[in-house]
Amino acid sequence: MFDLVIRGGQVVTPHGSGNWDIAIAGEKIALVGASDSATEAGRIIDASGKIVVPGGIEPHAHLASVIGMHPDERLMTLGPEEDTVGMAFGGTTTHLDFCFVHPGLDIPTAIARRAARWKEHSLVDYSFHVALGGALPLGVFDQIPDAIAQGFPTFKVFTAETLPPHPRRHPFRLDYGRIHWVMERLARHGGLMAVHAEDHDLVQFNYERFLHEGRTAGVHLAHVHTKLSEQVSFNHTIALAAATGAAVYFVHTSARDGVEAVAQARARRLPVYAETLHHYACFNAEDYRAPRGFCYHTYPSLKFPDDQAALWEGLLSDGISATATDEFPTSLEVKLRGDRIDNLTGGNLGAEARMGIIYTEGVVKRGMSLGRFAEVTSTNAARIMGLYPRKGVIAAGSDADLCVIDPAIHKRLTREDFHVSDYSPWEGWEIRGWPVMTVLRGQVIVEGGRLNAEAGYGQLIPRKIDPVILRRPAA
Ligand SMILES: [Zn+2]
């Protein structure tokens, strides 16, 4: 006797998909197999006509974070208690946020503070990347092996400041000397580096030049945070990774230049991975000119139609392993507060829409297979970030984390389809298929448009990366 059976949906597994039953005992999947009406369970859910995929994994979120674009105000993004409600409705069952370590803070303290902030406040499961920024004293890097051993094996760095200097702005950039030093430790101890890669000199010079020339309007951002900057910084980072043996994951790849740099590295069998954002795949720099166009902005910047084509090619075949949001949830007023190249509010609001948008734009419009859809929304992020096989796969023994998509829902999204903040950049978007039920560790947390769990249900999930991921491109 099982606790729950999801019956007859099109179940997507690494071994193919079929109209199977998923039997759940407690928090785990007990078996996946041919439909058997004799199976007994506390509850049986008929999923016929629906698609059942692994619960989404959002690898890139900044909740309860300082909004650095407006340094004279003490603004914060929305916290896990609000934003993870949207994740749950959108079929995302695990997210990764960041513990920022700046000079004056050490790694264990940064992790402990974020863990305390999330405990009892997140609806879905979670973990944190350790973000290292600024002129950190070298002794801090001795704490890396312990953090990896405690279940935090991913370290985020910025190769550039995304904004011009400001006395009240924390430095984010880690110099290439320290990046090299961190890579050596990650390669030795089973860690992976997540990189926000831009060329610091090119971007900062572009700010200076554009301000000097009076071209301050935010619509110029794609010419400040350029394709060339992505090309130079991706290749520079890959050269350091190749020299140290470290595995690298490029966050928010935005341009064809980045996709090609990653493809070349993978052709050399280097363990290099790329993430893109559904915003980058669906919007381009022309959209900055729309009435609420800065809604779509995140740093580095929206690029051009040819870049979007490259992102889709990478998502459909190989080269882009994961989709993320760079979630940075604010009110519409805060999101639209800046209008200049040096004060636009970055980040996106779209973790809730990620699964539905990639389903519509990838599977329905571009012929992405359901197996590939599961990879780029869940499985690959789980493998790269060390959550697999507990998360990211529908298989016996894994956590019963499921997203049920109804492919028959065809409509134009409105504000009422969303549960976070007072707007969504996806209002007005046509979708064909949308998540309708979410299961996390065996509990049906969203069903029939209602939330059935409370903030605090989410758990901190310890992570460990499979050595295969760290040795060669394997996701
Ligand atoms: Zn980010």
In the numeric block, which tokens belong to residue 83? 């934003």
Q: How far is the CA of 462 from the centre of ligand 1 (A)?
A: 21
CB 375 within 8 A of CB 384: no
pLDDT at position 261, please?
A: 98
pTM beyond 0.85, yes or no? yes
Q: How far is the CA of 297 from the centre of ligand 1 (A)?
A: 12
Q: What parts of the chain have a pLDDT lower than 50?
A: none
CB 132 within 8 A of CB 464: no
Q: How far is the CA of 346 from the centre of ligand 1 (A)?
A: 9
Q: How far is the CA of 211 from the centre of ligand 1 (A)?
A: 25
Q: How far is the CA of 60 from the centre of ligand 1 (A)?
A: 6
CB 83 within 8 A of CB 61: yes
In the numeric block, which tokens belong to residue 435? 């998540």
pLDDT at position 206, please?
A: 98
Residues near ion ligand 1 (CB < 5 Å) are 326
Q: Give the burial class of 221: count Cβ atoms within 10 A of its Cβ; 0-12 exposed, 13-18 middle, 19 or more buried.
A: buried
Q: How far is the CA of 17 from the centre of ligand 1 (A)?
A: 33
Q: How far is the CA of 304 from the centre of ligand 1 (A)?
A: 20
pLDDT at position 37, please?
A: 85
Q: How far is the CA of 328 from the centre of ligand 1 (A)?
A: 8
Q: How far is the CA of 36 from the centre of ligand 1 (A)?
A: 45
CA distance 405 to 401: 13
pLDDT at position 302, please?
A: 97
pLDDT at position 347, please?
A: 86
Q: How far is the CA of 3 from the centre of ligand 1 (A)?
A: 38
pLDDT at position 57, please?
A: 98
